[in-house]
Amino acid sequence: MSKGRLLIVSGPSGSGKDTILKKAFERLDGVKFSISTITRPMRPGEVEGEKYNFVSVECFEEMIKKGQLLEYNNYIGNYYGTPKAPVEKVIKEGGEIIVEVDVNGHRNIKNMIDSAVSIFIMPPSFEVLKQRLSGRGTDPDEVINKRMESALAEIACAKEYDYIVVNDNLEEAVDDFINIVKSDRLCIERQNYLVDEVLKKC
């Protein structure tokens, strides 16, 4: 049976990452999304187990101690983490699971699972990024500059990834993303069992 794959996806605000993932997900069979475990209160409209698992701080800290998280961080007093078990299950079963994290999360996960394949979604240029982050032009310059700074700090880490998808034209970016997932299924690490199957008949 084919080995599965953990796919790590990152991209700054303004990269269109969420839209690409949503559209790619509709066209890719058998790909799962990792559900993050978080400690912040549930917001209106959110459903337990849909995008997040909501747990108490005590419960989260127990998960950390037991080594049940692939990566986690604490942002303004709330924990965010990626549980390890569902990822290991999908890899064992030969499927693919997508984990959406920032550049630090990417580093931490790569350290634990070095077979993970990572994709960085990028805006096509500095100018387009600025335009996208300016919103409707009603935000003060200071706010826009802070967003730009944060996005550029993430882009500065893009070379640590295996692939870069540039989101200039949305449909092309979705095709690119899907191509990466599909061609990864053909790599030797995931297909060497086929060689054995043909040869064992000799």
* C-alpha–C-alpha distance, residues 63 and 83, integer Å: 8
Residue number with CB closer to a second copy (38 or 129) = 129
Nearer to a second copy, 127 or 141 (CB): 127
Q: What is the nearest approach in angstroms of a second copy to the Cβ of residue 132?
A: 13
Amino acid code (one letter) for 44? P
For residue 155, the minimal CB distance to a second copy (Å) is 6
Please identify, using beta-carbon distances, which residue of 113 and 178 lies nearer to a second copy: 178
For tokens 């984990």, name the residue. Answer: 99
185/183 Cα distance (integer angstroms): 5
Task: Provide, rounded to whole angstroms, the least separation between the CB of residue 135 and a second copy.
Answer: 20
Bridge partners (DSSP) listed for residue 154: none
* Identity of the residue, 35 or 128, whose beta carbon is nearer to a second copy in the bound complex: 128
In the bound state with a second copy, the residue whose beta carbon lies nearer, of 35 and 166, is: 166
Interacting residues with a second copy (CB under 8 A): 122-123, 125-127, 129, 152, 155-156, 158-159, 161-166, 176, 179-180, 182-184, 186-188, 191-192, 194-195, 197-199, 201-202
Count CB atoms within 10 A of the CB of residue 122: 25
Smallest separation, CB 136 to a second copy (Å): 23
Of all helices (H) and strands (E), which one includes residue 196? helix 188-199
Per DSSP, the three-state class of 21 is helix
Query: What is the H or E stretch that residue 70 is in?
Result: strand 69-75
- Three-state DSSP at 164 gives strand
CA 128-131-134 angle, to 5 degrees, is 150
- Nearest approach in angstroms of CB 158 to a second copy is 5
